[in-house]
Amino acid sequence: MNKIISNRIKKEAEYIIDTKKTIREAAKHFHLSKSTIHKDIHDRLLFVSPILYEKVRAILNIHLAERHIKGGESTKQIYLKKQES
């Protein structure tokens, strides 16, 4: 793998680990698409650094588990605003 790409992947992984951000937030930070970050983290990172891969997967699994809670809270806020109007 190209050294430039492997360095980018490590930076993305370290960013997610340090900040606990989502793939979408990391994509905005690095000015890349969500698809690129997803491909880097899910497919390429394992070959670049298995240790970073495990750490990032743990964080992303937490985000996945909390996703339905955040979505429900957003929907609740929308309906509350509609009731106030």
Q: 28-56 pLDDT, tens per residue?
A: 999 999 999 999 999 999 999 999 999 99
Answer for the pair 16, 52: CB distance below 8 angstroms, yes or no.
no
Q: What are the residue ranges spanned by the domains of the chain?
A: 3-84
- The angle formed by the CA atoms of residues 69, 78 and 72, to the nearest 5 degrees, is 10
- CB-based burial of residue 45 (10 Å sphere; 0-12 exposed, 13-18 middle, 19+ buried)? buried
Phi-psi category of 21—alpha, beta or left, where left has phi over 0 and alpha has psi -120 to 50?
A: beta
pTM beyond cutoff 0.85: no
Lowest-pLDDT choice from 38-42, 61-65, 79-83: 79-83
Judge whether residue 17 has pLDDT over 80.
yes
